[in-house]
Chain A
């Protein structure tokens, strides 16, 4: 039976409540969303792109949705488990799917920059938001439609023309509840011509004993000659299901870097869809995952080169332990009449246990001739000779394996364009490889004070 019905029913019953706690912009798309859901179905096994991740199954359990916007009473002091200290950022939070900003958030922000939740900004910037909201993420896509149907708030980030943010933005997403909860997040990012920004989003799950379904839709407009870095770090929990999709549109001369890092998760499906519509644009799409136990990580990427003279670079790396499952599906599409495209796509994986499974589908679809496109995919193990070499020099086998794994992940980390984050990520990966949960208390820095600055 389709799991969709319960969501459609929920919406029909409580449409007025949902809309009352939301904004006009978001409400305006709900009709389209419900129509799309009534005629659609959740992709399941047997659907080409969902062979490994069965969404029908993911959406099947009975999750609570906080449509009345009750305060879950998030423990703010303990909530913020930031793993990136020594990095000065403009900080924002989401507790489940309500958005907050820290007191320092707007200090020294350049003029014209608009950042905040839809609900707070609706009055002043409603028109601006509605120009962009829901235009990139296709409503025909069931997971987008579901998110559009049920999301009640979102984060809006607007960087005006010729503005560059000197500090990165940081969004800390925290999941906390005592009953199974479905969380619908929405982020809309707009960079006008020649705007520059960097952003780090971290996912944390506080209540490890609770089931979560975290759906997320991110839309990014990168204007002419703009640059945008997006680092998406997931350190959730084994009982967290994350269904995330990111839709990016790149104008002429824009430079977008996305790095999706999955260190601790339960069941994750990330979709990245990038439409390059202007010439001389650069796309960097990277990702890595370290998975153990029963963890499941499925990354789908699609880069559409609609015009010529662009480059794209893609690299995803996985280390799979225990009974974890990893999947990667990448597609590079070069349209007819899009000459001089250079596109590279790489996927490298290590299976560390006999029960770990990896599914890789690197794909190229090329409709013109003047291109340089290539892809490579490998699935293998650590180099036994290298381990032996190190053992012969007095390094224990365990340590040698760690060194090799760290080195394996090094080239994904090296793509990060923020030094402090790069160092921190290295540290986090090390910790993860040594089997420790990356807890804030262990990192030794004094970032807890920031928590007191959180605006309630």
Chain B
């Protein structure tokens, strides 16, 4: 992985200088990648299953007001933040676990989870040397070593490791432009007005069960503010990683793009192998003002559990963006390969006139994985447009559902939506489901939805076999081709990782 990251970034740099040369390199890389896939094929266990051994600061299991006060106090939060948490917690107590999704979720004991874990570090490191060597090793294994990032890329990495931000790079360069990219805890201290203004404005704590839980106990996350007229010069990136055993992780991400701003934000996840299920309930809020654009890309590869469905992460995330300004644009791209259960609907509220929402998704489920994912496009402003492209791939005994809402309100004149959701089935024991909801409340909007469900084409596999490509690799090729439309929307360095992930996730799925 480390090598790959280097290579892809190298390719990206080259692209700017000499496109021809770069495309040659790309081909070479592809070959290398394919070789790697073949090598990896033999070993179909979870690739990133290792545990970093560093000092953890964990509070006892259970949730009550004292725990919330403790979290707030440990993080030196102001009074208003504690109130925010307590209100959310009190509301959460009145809620019941939602059951409407097409998922079979074992009962979760919310008192059997430790709600706070932080690496023991009193002050944030000032340079890379100060970062715990164990932490750095973990990132090395993941292929996102901070050194490499600093030397080769130009990507600022706000690495969140079990809740507390340990290292932020390129802060200064961003600071020159007025871009704020820091952990949410820092933001609460340093930019209370901004946080107060935007936190909970898109995803209220009353939104749903897990949103309320997150609002009460969120440990850390990222805060991004792009001031007026600034085009963020680099892709901002956060790698999340659940590290401590039995600790739920509740990140909170808040991204604000002021008028005419642009930012591309990357989120990637890998988690070590665990036997017990872990809960991950994050919130991502995005506010896009006039003419601003936000691109949010995710590669999600939490531990999916073993072949018998034991273990794995529960990924229950609320992601929502508000296109508040006219001509604003929000684009979600996600590649979901991990987690035992995925339950998330990155959504766009298209409030500003002429605003645009996009959702591109590839969801792969294998073995006993379950996914119920999709999007919501709420058209409120005039001439708003949205596009949804969702590709589901199911294998093994998994269940993969697309669930999406397109809602056009009476005032959203001339809005337009196009939805395409395709499902590909690899075995006769898996399931692929489509549950679109389309509500149109005016006479000038056009909404289209189409979906297909079909088996992987046997002729294509046979064709590959004839040419000496093993069935496993053939499936990797076909699936990558099938998902290309979405992959093309990912930033370069993610696209490579994601392509490999697709193949790896489907290993052993062919009977």
Contact = CB atoms under 8 A, between A and B. Distances in A.
Contacts of B440: 349, 351, 357-360, 379
Interface string A356-382: 111111111111111111111111110
Contacts of A352: 443
A439 to B, nearest CB: 29
A377 B405 CA distance: 13
Interface residues of B, number: 37
B100 A371 contact: no
Interface string B69-109: 00000000000000000000000000000001010000000
A353 interface: yes
A353 B445 CA distance: 11
B436 A363 contact: yes
B450 A375 contact: yes
B438 A379 contact: yes
A366 B443 contact: no
Nearest to A321: B443
B443 A371 contact: no
A402 to B, nearest CB: 17
Nearest to A364: B434
Contacts of A362: 434, 436, 449, 451
Contacts of B430: 367, 369
A366 B453 contact: yes
A48 interface: yes
Contact of B428 (A337, A354, A356, A365): A337
A336 B397 CA distance: 11
A7 to B, nearest CB: 29
A interface secondary structure, majority? strand
B434 A380 contact: no
Nearest to A371: B453
Nearest to A343: B453
Contacts of A377: 436, 438, 447-450
Interface stretch (B381-389, B419-427, B482-490): B419-427
Interface in A30-85: 48
Nearest to A377: B449
B423 A366 contact: yes
Given A362-B436, A369-B427, A380-B446, A374 B441 contact: no
Contacts of A366: 423, 425, 431-433, 453
Interface string B444-475: 11111111111110000000000000000000
Interface in B368-419: 408, 410
A362 B433 CA distance: 11
B455 to A, nearest CB: 4
A373 B439 contact: no
Contact of A336 (B428, B434, B436): B428
Q: Which of B432, B443, B446 has the most CB of A within 10 A?
A: B443
A215 B130 CA distance: 75
A363 B434 contact: yes
A355 interface: yes
Interface residues of A, number: 36
A295 to B, nearest CB: 16
A371 B454 contact: yes
A336 B429 CA distance: 7
Nearest to A356: B443
B442 interface: yes
A339 interface: yes
B99 to A, nearest CB: 11
B428 A374 contact: no
B428 A370 contact: yes
A369 B455 contact: yes
A20 B102 CA distance: 46
B interface secondary structure, majority? strand
A374 B452 contact: yes
Contact of A368 (B100, B425, B442): B425
A380 B447 contact: yes
Contact of B436 (A354, A355, A357, A361): A361
A348 to B, nearest CB: 10
A354 B410 contact: yes
A361 B435 contact: yes
Given A379-B445, A381-B443, A360 B438 contact: yes
A48 B425 contact: no
B453 A364 contact: yes
B438 A373 contact: no
B437 interface: yes
A298 to B, nearest CB: 13
Contacts of A355: 410
Nearest to A325: B441
Nearest to B422: A374
Contacts of B432: 364, 366
B103 to A, nearest CB: 13
Contact of B455 (A364, A367, A371, A379): A371
B435 A357 contact: no
Contact of A372 (B436, B446, B454): B454
A357 B447 contact: no
Contacts of A381: 443-444, 446
Contacts of B100: 48
A368 B435 contact: no
B446 A373 contact: no
A374 B451 contact: yes
A349 B427 CA distance: 35
A362 B437 CA distance: 8
Contacts of B426: 369
A356 B442 CA distance: 6
Nearest to B102: A365
B476 to A, nearest CB: 18
A449 B252 CA distance: 76
Given A372-B454, A377-B448, A359 B438 contact: yes
Nearest to B441: A357
Interface string A410-428: 0000000000000000000
A351 B443 contact: yes
Nearest to B417: A379
Contacts of B449: 360, 362, 375-378
B455 A376 contact: no
Interface in A297-353: 336-337, 339, 349, 351-353
A372 B437 CA distance: 22
A339 B438 contact: no
A378 B446 contact: yes
A339 B425 CA distance: 12
B433 A363 contact: yes
A368 B100 CA distance: 22
Interface string A371-396: 11111111111000000000000000
Nearest to B431: A367
Nearest to B425: A369
A372 B444 CA distance: 33
A363 B434 CA distance: 5
23 contacts: A351-B440, A354-B442, A358-B440, A359-B440, A360-B437, A361-B438, A364-B434, A364-B451, A364-B453, A366-B423, A366-B432, A371-B425, A374-B450, A374-B453, A375-B449, A376-B448, A376-B449, A377-B436, A378-B447, A378-B448, A379-B408, A379-B445, A381-B443
Interface of A: 48, 336-337, 339, 349, 351-381
Interface of B: 100, 102, 408, 410, 423, 425-456
Given A351-B440, A373-B453, 9 more contacts: A357-B441, A359-B439, A364-B423, A369-B425, A374-B452, A374-B453, A375-B434, A377-B448, A381-B444
Q: 4 nearest interchain CB pairs?
A: A369-B425, A360-B438, A380-B446, A374-B452
